[in-house]
Chain A
Amino acid sequence: MKSGYFPGCSLHSTAKNYESSTQAVCKNLDVQLEEIPDWNCCGSTPAHQTDHLLALALPARNLALAERAGMKEVLAPCAACFNHLRTAELECAGNRETQRRVEGVLGMTYGNSVHVMNILEFLVERVGIDKISAKVKRPLKGLRIAPYYGCMLTRPAKIARFDHPVNPLSMDHLLEALGADVVAWGAKTECCGAAHVLTRPDVVIELSGRIIYEAKDSGADAVATACPMCMSNLDLRQNAMTKATGKEAKVPVLYLTELLGLALGISRAELGMRKHVVSTAPVLEKIS
């Protein structure tokens, strides 16, 4: 199987291990990822907060490039990129006037032929849980994982159009298929504070802290995420959480694709497992 691929800026810098684990997992699952040639930044929250047309045009350039390259579907592993690309996809497809205006600022044509997928939709609906579970070599037995969806994988529902906006289950099912013990917990779709980390780190430490402590209290060995922004808020800020609350945080946070890769028997080096601030050693020990 072939699929278009949009890594986005984070997967090329702070989330290199998300990129390496996604690539490794896809290779293992016989999916050939084809990167959109010369892609640009999706504009993320700053474009969204600044100008609506800009917030559509920046991601739409990528859709237009994908279309030219003959791609019908594009995987965007970063949940935020997914949200912005999908917004552009839907708004262009839903309104001729919008499409025309976007084409005008792009100086390119775009025929609305590209469908953008997040990592869950891609793994669960394109590759399929059956195919994945048939390839599991090292089941994640005894590993208690808190599946964290955050906001942008399933919300706003009108944009994501996938799974349930408040109580999604696709990641739960996928992790179960890998043999993990999936923790039922209350913070699976709570917001980590996202881009506010650059202007109000205090608020983000509190919001992300609630998620980490909830995971800890429900006995999770690790949190699984599919978003580089969530990863950096949840993993990098645990010292600050500990300082703010006086209660030790220390919960490893892993990309869903890293957990999947481990279960598929892919080597830690290939997955990029060392690039975490909170050590993932206890997780690895439990499944080795």
Chain B
Amino acid sequence: MKVLLEEKHSLLEEVEARSGQKVQECYQCSKCSGGCPFSGIMDYAPNSILEMIVYGLKDQLLSSKAIQMCIQCGTCGAQCPAGFEMYEVMNVLRELAKEEGYVSREVKIPKMNQIFLGEVRKGGRMHEVNLMVKNMLSQGELVRDVTSLIPIGPPMFVKGIMGMGDVFAHKIQGQAQVEQIFAKIEKMRGGVAS
């Protein structure tokens, strides 16, 4: 969905063109931020993000934690009096950040995403046991988080939520097709699909 605009176009124009959302029509009522489950841990609340786009505060915005935290839950959009879909703006901001090589101040989420997608790329499906273990190791928090895992790990096995069959990953037959999806996108992006 890359819309090539010349440098002279502002962040505002770029975001509006790609997302189809009219950023300037926001009333700044901040209902979205009141509703967003994650605005408490975002460095900029959703309504502020729209304001920052208007003011062209590109560097702060594209390296922010907030744009990595949106999960497209749609809570904000359902409450917005202007019928605004924030997740579409967030998608575009993340896309721009990647294209322009910004490093996010949020480190854990991109790392976790990379592990998740690595599992999918290798086997075609996500493997939950590997995901949990690798995520913790990579975050360097095995020691600290092992305590928070204890109430989850053993009960999952004891209750039969997970069994021994879940410890080993299986590959789907079309794994090569899935690999090809990743490889082609990586190539298009100059080597940064996941």
Contact = CB atoms under 8 A, between A and B. Distances in A.
A113 interface: no
B117 A199 contact: no
Contacts of B5: none
Interface stretch (A23-31, A36-44, A217-225): A36-44
Interface of A: 9-10, 12-14, 16-17, 38-41, 43-54, 57-58, 61, 83, 98, 104-108, 151-152, 155-159, 165-166, 189-191, 193-196, 198-201, 203, 207, 236, 239-240, 274-277
A105 B75 contact: no
Contacts of A47: 113, 117, 120
B36 to A, nearest CB: 9
Contact of B173 (A38, A200, A207): A38
Contacts of A58: 120, 178, 181
A13 B162 contact: yes
Interface string B33-52: 00001101100000000000
Interface string B149-178: 001100110011110001000001110011
A47 B116 CA distance: 9
A191 B37 contact: yes
B174 A61 contact: yes
Most buried by B among A14, A152, A157: A14
B160 to A, nearest CB: 5
B14 interface: no
Give the secondary structure class of B's interface: helix
A240 B98 contact: no
B73 interface: yes
Interface in B82-126: 85, 87, 91, 94-95, 98, 108-110, 112-114, 116-117, 120, 124-126
B172 A39 contact: yes
11 contacts: A9-B125, A9-B127, A10-B128, A46-B114, A61-B181, A83-B72, A155-B78, A196-B38, A198-B135, A203-B41, A277-B155
Contact of B94 (A49, A151, A201): A49
B60 interface: no
Given A41-B124, A54-B185, A61 B178 contact: yes
Contact of A151 (B75, B114, B151): B75
B29 interface: no
Nearest to B91: A52
Nearest to A238: B151
Contacts of A98: 1
A152 B73 contact: yes
Given A13-B129, A14-B161, 17 more contacts: A9-B128, A39-B172, A40-B172, A47-B120, A48-B91, A49-B110, A50-B114, A51-B98, A54-B117, A54-B185, A57-B185, A105-B184, A105-B185, A158-B85, A189-B75, A195-B71, A198-B132
Contacts of A207: 37
Interface residues of B, number: 65
A106 B128 contact: no
Contacts of A13: 127-129, 162, 166
B177 A106 contact: yes
A46 B70 CA distance: 11
Contact of A156 (B85, B116, B135): B85
B145 to A, nearest CB: 8
Contacts of B117: 43, 46-47, 50, 54
A108 to B, nearest CB: 8
B68 interface: yes
A107 B41 CA distance: 40
B125 A276 contact: no
Nearest to A104: B184
Most buried by B among A43, A107, A274, A275: A43
Contacts of B78: 155-157, 165-166, 189
B185 A157 contact: no
Contacts of B10: none
Interface in B1-60: 1, 37-38, 40-41
Nearest to B1: A52
Contacts of B135: 198
